[in-house]
Structures are given as C-alpha cells and as structure tokens.
Amino acid sequence: MKNDIVLSIIVPVYNVEKYLDECLESIIKNYDQKIEVILVDDGSKDNSSVLCDEYAKEYNFITVIHKENGGLSSARNAGIDKAKGKYIWFVDSDDYISDSSISNILDAARKSTDLIIGNYSVFYPNGNREIYQDFKFDIKENMKPYEYFYQLGNVSYAAVRFIIRREIIYKYDLRFMEGIYHEDEQWTPRVLCTSETFSVIKPTIYNYRLGNSNSIMGMVNPKKSYDKIIICNSLYNISKKSDFSKNMIEYLNSRILHNYIAILNEYSKYSKEERKKLFKILKENLYLIDDYNSKKATVIKWAIKFFGIPITSKLLSIRNKISR
C-alpha cells in the first residue's frame, strides 16, 4: 500500500496533563489527511498516559508509544523510529501550533526541499507574547541552510522550528544525543550542515511556552554547563572528521564559541565548589575555540588569557546587563 503520509508530527509527552489538551487540540484543529501524529509517552507519572490513549482511541491518525522515562531526546528518537511521513516535525507537548501551520508546511513540502524552517512566538503565563520574525534576508540562489543561519546570527536553534525530510535523518543519522540538556544545540547544526536545500515559512507556525513549572530551561543546574562542553566537543569532532568545506567548519566553530560563551555566562551563578570544577573543565577545553578567529573569539581568548576565566565571566555578565 502506498504511503501517502507527508508529515509525521512527533510529540514527546512527560507529565504535561495540564497542557496536553491545548497542544493536541491545536493539531486536531489543523488536521489534514496527509499527516500522522505520534505521541511518545516517556513514562509519565501523572494523567498524561491516559490522555494519550484517549486521543488515540478517538482519532485514527494519532498513535501512542508508551516507554520508560529516558528524556526528551530518547522520546524524539523513539518517534523517529515509528514515523512514516516524508517530513518529520517535533512538537513539545506543553506548546501548541499556530492556525494554518500544517497547511503552510504541506504547501512548502511540495518544493521537496530537505528542510523547512518556520517562525515562532513565545508566550508567558501573564499573557504577554513575543513574535520572532527571524528571516530578515532573502535566500540567495544555491544558499545552504547553515549559510543562511550563519548570516542571521543570534536566532533560535530550537528543533521545533525545523521540519526535516525523514530520509535525511536516516542518511546522516540525525538522531538526538541522549542524556544531555540543550540537545537542540547539538542536533540543529548537524541538520543545517547536512541539508542541501531549504525553504522558509514566514508566518508563525509554533507557539513556545515559557514559565512552565516542569520546564528545565530556567533552572540553575551545573549539568547544563557540563553538557554544553559535551556539545562543543561533539561539534568540534564533527568539524575535524568530516569533509566539510572551510565555510561550514567556520560555521561550526561559531556554534562552539556560542556555547562556550554561554558557559562563561553561567559560571558566576554556581556555588564555589561547582565554579572550581567548571573552571578546570573550561580551562582544559579552551582548545575548542582556538581554531576560530572571528572578532568575538579573539576578544574572548584575549580576555581569558589576561584576566582569567572568573573575571571574564563577570565582564560578560556586566555587558549582558548593560545591553538589556
């Protein structure tokens, strides 16, 4: 039987009974017969598992995977294994999609590009909302996805804004690194570097919730910094082992620097004991930014050399407060 599924929407679910209805109803509202929805219950301890089963029973385009808790990356990877669509879209279960997002994605899919990228909005518990329109530049002929994002600069790398051809995921083994925070920072650069063609959807396709009590994004946790070092090393190794172009390697170096600076920004938030551990790790991994000679990289390396890591971290903190 011919597979007519164009879009597989993978929704990892973990203890989100408060938000799951809103997420799934936003998808159902936008339903098209060319989509499937895969709910991956990652060992939820609340009523989320029951809700997943109820939706799957009511709607034949929704299926459920129940698995032991393994984290967001593990849940997404399980969904990849189950997906049948030409394209895959990851939607977090405490967020919701925009009206017309599915029809916009299906329209974009007719171009058969490797990657489709959408704009998004962020909303807060108090009702405030910020809409991010990141696509400030036209796509030049033969431009690669990584070149476009390098040009855009400081924009979101969240996996939820990328819709990728399933065959690209399998061809380049673009699975999520498990057991770490900030997995998108390791996944997205690989997606951008291995995709040859792309298109953008300028209307907002996704609505990202900030302020969820279950979210790990706002937590002060040293593991988040240690995991960024793991990500830096992963990208560094990819740049060394792959037959990437000079421009692509420069792009990867820019992402390594981005994460290294993020760790420096977090350094002063931790206890004295954790700062001691992190100082050692940062110093041992300073080589990660040696190959990158942008203006920003040069300033950071100079500051660390002459002022040291603690003072460089404080200077970055002051700069961030001034620039807000």
Taking only the tens place, the pLDDT of each residue in 73-123 is 999 999 999 999 999 999 999 999 999 999 999 999 999 999 999 999 999
Mean pLDDT of 254-281: 95
Question: Has residue 219 got a pLDDT over 80?
Answer: no
pLDDT of residue 1: 39
In this structure, what are the phi and psi dihedrals at residue 267, rounded to the nearest 5 degrees? Answer: -50, -50
The answer to whether 45 and 66 are in contact (CB under 8 A) is no
Structure tokens at 254: 């820019």
pLDDT of residue 131: 87
Predicted model pTM:
0.94
Taking only the tens place, the pLDDT of each residue in 41-64 is 999 999 999 999 999 999 999 999
> Residue 228 corresponds to which amino acid?
K
Q: Which CATH superfamily is domain 7-209 in?
A: Spore Coat Polysaccharide Biosynthesis Protein SpsA; Chain A (3.90.550.10)
Spatial distance between the Cα atoms of 156 and 141, rounded to a whole number of angstroms? 23
pLDDT of residue 214: 52
Structure tokens at 87: 């394209």
Structure tokens at 173: 């083994």
Structure tokens at 96: 């919701």
CA 259 to chain centre: 13
The answer to whether 187 and 159 are in contact (CB under 8 A) is yes
Domain with CATH 3.90.550.10 in the chain: 7-209
Triad 132, 205, 74: Cα angle to 5°? 100
214 Cβ contact list (under 8 Å, min separation 6): 14, 15, 16, 94
Single out the residue of 86, 85, 43 nearest to residue 65, CA to CA: 43
Structure tokens at 292: 């990158």
324 pLDDT band, cuts 50/70/90, is low
Triad 323, 269, 286: Cα angle to 5°? 85
Spatial distance between the Cα atoms of 61 and 37, rounded to a whole number of angstroms? 6
Q: Where is 2: in which H helix or E strand? A: none
117 Cβ contact list (under 8 Å, min separation 6): 135, 145, 161, 162, 163, 198, 199, 200, 201
Spatial distance between the Cα atoms of 191 and 64, rounded to a whole number of angstroms? 26
Taking only the tens place, the pLDDT of each residue in 282-299 is 999 999 999 898 999 999
Spatial distance between the Cα atoms of 137 and 135, rounded to a whole number of angstroms? 6
Structure tokens at 219: 């937590």
Percent of the chain with pLDDT over 90: 85
Mean pLDDT of 205-216: 76
Residue found by looking up tokens 């407060």 in the block = 321
> Residue 215 corresponds to which amino acid?
S
